[in-house]
Amino acid sequence: MTEQNSFQQWRLKLHEIIFEADTPAGKLFDIVLILSILLSILAVMLDSVADIRKEYGSILITVEWFFTLLFTLEYILRFASVGRPLKYATSFYGLVDLLSIIPTYFSLIFPSSKYLLVIRVLRILRVFRVLKLVQYLKEANLLIQALRSSQRKITVFLFTVLTMVVIFGSLMYVIEGESNGFTSIPRSIYWAIVTMTTVGYGDISPATSLGQGLASLIMIIGYGIIAVPTGIVTAEMSKSWKKEPVSTQACPECSAEGHDHDASHCKYCGSSL
Amino acid sequence: MTEQNSFQQWRLKLHEIIFEADTPAGKLFDIVLILSILLSILAVMLDSVADIRKEYGSILITVEWFFTLLFTLEYILRFASVGRPLKYATSFYGLVDLLSIIPTYFSLIFPSSKYLLVIRVLRILRVFRVLKLVQYLKEANLLIQALRSSQRKITVFLFTVLTMVVIFGSLMYVIEGESNGFTSIPRSIYWAIVTMTTVGYGDISPATSLGQGLASLIMIIGYGIIAVPTGIVTAEMSKSWKKEPVSTQACPECSAEGHDHDASHCKYCGSSL
Amino acid sequence: MTEQNSFQQWRLKLHEIIFEADTPAGKLFDIVLILSILLSILAVMLDSVADIRKEYGSILITVEWFFTLLFTLEYILRFASVGRPLKYATSFYGLVDLLSIIPTYFSLIFPSSKYLLVIRVLRILRVFRVLKLVQYLKEANLLIQALRSSQRKITVFLFTVLTMVVIFGSLMYVIEGESNGFTSIPRSIYWAIVTMTTVGYGDISPATSLGQGLASLIMIIGYGIIAVPTGIVTAEMSKSWKKEPVSTQACPECSAEGHDHDASHCKYCGSSL
Amino acid sequence: MTEQNSFQQWRLKLHEIIFEADTPAGKLFDIVLILSILLSILAVMLDSVADIRKEYGSILITVEWFFTLLFTLEYILRFASVGRPLKYATSFYGLVDLLSIIPTYFSLIFPSSKYLLVIRVLRILRVFRVLKLVQYLKEANLLIQALRSSQRKITVFLFTVLTMVVIFGSLMYVIEGESNGFTSIPRSIYWAIVTMTTVGYGDISPATSLGQGLASLIMIIGYGIIAVPTGIVTAEMSKSWKKEPVSTQACPECSAEGHDHDASHCKYCGSSL
């Protein structure tokens, strides 16, 4: 029983170090972790540059396997120390942790898959928790909330845009034809997206007068309708943030509300707040 | 007379299946319809890819004719079952339904016209009704309403942009000349639109110093004035959505709604709220 | 004296036809004028297309001279009929009217200057007065007013952008060098403007790693700061338009203000407005 | 002692001329300074154009050294006349002043570094003080304040964008491969930034169907999320500028300002307004 107890204690200790950042050990662990992630991503990136790979290839492979084994060990420890392992494994961070080590093993079969290791960048999201950047998380939540409450409007907008690029893309395919680079409808739709989002690579561009006319129309539409998502998000943000800066305190005398945060007296009856 | 009655009943039944989505049969019909539309659009797209056409061309043509005949039959049935056929034929959906079958027949004369079948994508708008996505339609209406009430401001804006691209395009034609790709005024106007909307293909771009200077000016103007439609739409949306949270209280006398929160009397009849 | 009187009357009549659009004759004159402008611009545009010029060049020149002489006659008549000719000559419309005829005469010396005739497009602004599109002019004024009241903020913004493109352009000139297309600082500044406004022709693009890194920075800055003018204009429009839809009428009983336009009773005391 | 006094007076006099713009001499000094800056920047720019350098190179070098020596003298005088030289040397303007003369001396070793002299453009910021453009400075402060109070939200946004371009860039590297121009992950990330910010040079563009599909997704995301910073800044500006039109009435008791229009009592001391 003492043994089981000491195992339990050891697991709690481990959990504290790996999952929390309140103790010095936990904080140190998280900082080392983030540095390791950054270094391993750097190694993956450098490995993709032909000149560097040629010269330092063997070192980079060693680094890659070192970090992968380290992260594998960490993943096993997380699994061992957490109360409900299955819940961790299916959580967002659990999946990211797993996806951050698989590609290296996978690269034994498909070599280029190892570049997918950059998914490790998602692990850095933990930095917000580690460095107690709670305020940033709060701001992020405000943004996500504003986007979520305008979700339906954005869906309608996206549906409209997709319908337009399908129709305009096909029209351009018929007008310009395969000799001008519009070799198929999917490719023409790709062109329509490139144009409507005002990216404009120029790898495909209309050559006939009619095509250029239609392209001009698409551009002006794309230039104009960017106002719609912007308007949606802005109106949503203005609405939800306006509620914030007024105190929820009611006057004890006349019960009036809507006082500023710095008010010390009711602005309607003058009694002390 | 019984015969006529049974015909009438049969027509009502047909109308319910084809036009409504409340009964299981009507819902099934709409779901099959949407799947057919998606499949037929996919077939048209695949047919436009040279490699696929070469190998599966005959199958795709069969699929195309199968769906076209199916949609033709559906169009005839809609015509037969609807109370006022002419009104249906001239409605938005009626026109789209017709345009969705014509190109195939037309393609017997002009082969490439069949690619216009992608207009069928507009038929999918019915999905909103089928899946009872009323909320989405409501959001779409809010967007359309905001755009409509800022219609005049947008017209003024578009007129200004068009005037600018005509003048800037002509100036560039005079400055750059035909040797630098600005081969005519219409083409230069096309370039001005490409530049002002910040698309920037690069198929035509200024080569002289003076031309690059003027182009820089156009770009900065285009970059700046995108603020105008965005501002218009945002201000309109903020305004119209702010009206929403007015009091839901109805006047006990005249039942009028839309009172402000601080109103103590009905603003229409003056009775106490 | 009768002669002078009849001349005076004749001048008033002429003024009414040319400058006003209230009488049938005045309206007809303006409509003919706008059609002439559109036709003459079309002729200038067509003349710039090499193929068309080769075939119909002589006709187009005739058309051009016909309209130029017509507009010259109109300009003289405007001069003769207006009360204060000098004020007209220096007004916006007066200058545009003059600039609309000069290029043809000028083209006898510099042939390509005739394409500047498209300045005639500015004369079409009169269409708003002719067709009594007063509402549109009002909307245009609202836009101009919003832009004007945010003029200082926009100046500060433009100054910041210009400072940034000068510095970033020079940095890129030093980093990329003349071999990669950045042949001089002015040209590099042109590139920086193309990049920062997200136009991105691709006629010049960084080739070195360091250059691509700096370019990425410029792009992200350019992508982000577009929020600034948009925010300025939107905030300005929201502010000025919010004042509009409230009646200036005060309650005759309790003097409360801020009633809606459709209110017939004071919302505070209930007395009739 | 008189000597020291006269030196002190001479220093004060110098300070007044160089640092202030209230006296005629001070104003003249500043105007001459700004003209010198503009001329020296022009000389640097012209020197970078190969054709001009070939012909007027020696003159431009003379001009450059003339202005550099002039600015060096000015820098020494500023140092001599200012009360706390170290504070000046480490201030923003002090650093800019120093950076504006170093490159010329540096160019004796690294010739191309002289083009960094354009940093002098930052010195022109003084124009705002000279020309008493206080109002503009106030507007600039409003803008900076709005940006600062939305700083955290923008950081979250930038972090999200950077995470996305790293992941999307790596995915494209794996999908497209080195044969299509995506020669390394850093270069692919550069492409992802070019695409997401809707710049779209077209120097690298996807060639495979899968790559074009993913690129389309990135473009639509980039086109959509520009709404986020715009929304943030706009909402922030609307909020902070809306506070402005509060009542200008000061409390008769405690002189506090910033009361709402409907306030009948001071919100700080409770006395009647």
Write out residues 103-142 of A within 8 Å (CB-CB) of D. Answer: 112-113, 115-116, 118-119, 121-122, 124-125, 135-136, 139-140, 142
Q: What percentage of residues in chain A have a pLDDT greater than 90?
A: 15
From C223, D221, D235, C234, select the one nearest B233 (Cα to Cα): C234
Q: How many Å apart are CA B139 and CA C200, to the nearest integer?
A: 35
Nearest CB to D234 within list B198, B202, B234: B234
What pLDDT, on the 0 to 100 scale, is given for residue C259? 60
Nearest CB to C173 within list D115, D119, D201: D115
CB of C198 less than 8 A from some CB of A = yes
Contact A202 C201 (CB under 8 A): yes
CB of C200 less than 8 A from some CB of A = yes
From B9-13, B225-229, C17-21, D60-64, the region with the lowest mean pLDDT: C17-21
Neighbours of C35 (CB within 10 A): 10
What is the average per-residue pLDDT within A173-181?
A: 88
Contact B115 A239 (CB under 8 A): no
Write out residues 147-186 of D within 8 Å (CB-CB) of C. Answer: 147, 154, 158, 161, 186
What is the average per-residue pLDDT within C57-65?
A: 89
| pLDDT above 60 (res B23) | yes
pLDDT tens per residue across span A125-172:
666 655 555 667 777 777 788 788 888 888 888 888 998 999 899 889
D196: which 2 tokens?
């997401």
| pLDDT above 60 (res A178) | yes
pLDDT tens per residue across span B59-116:
998 998 999 999 999 899 888 888 788 888 888 888 888 888 888 888 888 777 777 7
| pLDDT above 70 (res B163) | yes
Q: Distances in Å between the alpha carbon of A8 and those of A13, A24, A77, A84, D189? A: 9, 21, 14, 14, 46
Across chain D, mean pLDDT equals 81
What pLDDT, on the 0 to 100 scale, is given for residue B70? 92
Across chain B, mean pLDDT equals 81
pLDDT tens per residue across span D222-248:
888 888 888 888 888 877 665 544 455
What is the average per-residue pLDDT within D123-141?
A: 67
Spatial contact of C195 and D199, defined as CB atoms under 8 Å apart: yes
From A2-6, B127-131, C39-43, the region with the lowest mean pLDDT: B127-131
Q: What percentage of residues in chain C have a pLDDT greater than 70?
A: 82
pLDDT tens per residue across span B121-156:
777 766 665 555 566 777 777 778 878 888 888 888
pLDDT tens per residue across span B36-67:
888 988 988 888 888 888 899 889 989 989 99
Strand partners, C260: C246
| pLDDT above 70 (res C215) | yes
Nearest CB to D200 within list B200, B230, B234: B200
From B87, B68, B78, select the one nearest B18 (Cα to Cα): B78
Contact D209 A186 (CB under 8 A): yes
- Chain C: closest CA distance from residue B160 (Å): 10
Q: Which of B232, B246, B266 to mutate to test the interface with C (most CBs of C within 10 A)?
A: B232
What is the average per-residue pLDDT within A78-90?
A: 84
D chain contacts of residue B234, beta-carbon cutoff 8 Å: 234
Residue C115, Cα to own-chain centre: how many angstroms?
Answer: 19
Q: Looking at per-residue confidence, does A37 or C118 come out higher?
A: A37
C chain contacts of residue D139, beta-carbon cutoff 8 Å: 152-153, 156
What pLDDT, on the 0 to 100 scale, is given for residue B72? 92
Nearest residue in A to B124, CA atom? A163
What is the average per-residue pLDDT within A25-37?
A: 85
What pLDDT, on the 0 to 100 scale, is given for residue B194? 93
What is the average per-residue pLDDT within C221-249?
A: 74
Contact A193 D166 (CB under 8 A): no
What pLDDT, on the 0 to 100 scale, is given for residue C245? 45
Q: C85-94, C238-247, D187-196: which has the highest mean pLDDT?
A: D187-196
AA letter at A167 = I
Q: Left if phi > 0, otherwise alpha if psi is -120 to 50, otherwise beta: which for C263?
A: beta
A chain contacts of residue D263, beta-carbon cutoff 8 Å: 267-268
What pLDDT, on the 0 to 100 scale, is given for residue C106? 84
Q: Which of A197, A223, A243, A244 to mutate to test the interface with D (most CBs of D within 10 A)?
A: A197
CA atoms within 13 A on the CB side of A202: 22
pTM: 0.83
DSSP state of A101: T
What pLDDT, on the 0 to 100 scale, is given for residue B253? 64
What is the average per-residue pLDDT within A83-92?
A: 84
| pLDDT above 90 (res A213) | yes
Q: Looking at per-residue confidence, does A33 or C117 come out higher?
A: A33
Nearest CB to D185 within list A45, A190, A196: A45
| pLDDT above 60 (res B260) | no
Spatial contact of A136 and A128, defined as CB atoms under 8 Å apart: yes
Nearest CB to C200 within list A200, A230, A234: A200
| pLDDT above 60 (res C1) | no
| pLDDT above 50 (res B244) | no
From D165, D187, D194, D182, select the one nearest A118 (Cα to Cα): D165
pLDDT tens per residue across span B213-230:
999 999 999 888 888 888
| pLDDT above 80 (res A267) | no
Nearest CB to C224 within list D49, D229, D238: D229
| pLDDT above 60 (res A11) | yes
Chain A contact partners (≥3 CB pairs within 8 A) = B, C, D
From B137-141, B206-210, C30-34, C183-187, the region with the lowest mean pLDDT: B137-141
Contacts (Cβ under 8 Å, ≥6 apart) of B228: B157, C143, C147, C233
C59: which 2 tokens?
């006709």
| pLDDT above 50 (res C32) | yes
pLDDT tens per residue across span D144-201:
887 888 888 888 888 889 989 998 998 899 889 888 889 989 999 999 999 999 998 9
**Collapsed DSSP state (helix, strand, coil) of residue B261:** coil
CB of A237 less than 8 A from some CB of D = yes
Phi, psi at D272, each rounded to 5°: -70, 140
- C32, burial (CB in 10 Å: exposed 0-12, middle 13-18, buried 19+): exposed
Strand partners, B265: B272
What pLDDT, on the 0 to 100 scale, is given for residue B261? 55
Query: For the complex shown, is ipTM > 0.95?
Result: no
Q: Which domains are assigned to chain A?
A: 2-131 (1.20.120), 149-239 (1.10.287.70)
From C232, C228, C244, C243, select the one nearest C149 (Cα to Cα): C232
| pLDDT above 80 (res B262) | no
Neighbours of B125 (CB within 10 A): 16
- A255, burial (CB in 10 Å: exposed 0-12, middle 13-18, buried 19+): exposed
Phi, psi at D265, each rounded to 5°: -130, 150
What pLDDT, on the 0 to 100 scale, is given for residue D218? 94
CB of C230 less than 8 A from some CB of A = yes
Name the band, by pLDDT with cuts 50, 70 and 90, for residue B212: very high
What pLDDT, on the 0 to 100 scale, is given for residue D245? 44
CB of A23 less than 8 A from some CB of B = no
**Collapsed DSSP state (helix, strand, coil) of residue A94:** helix
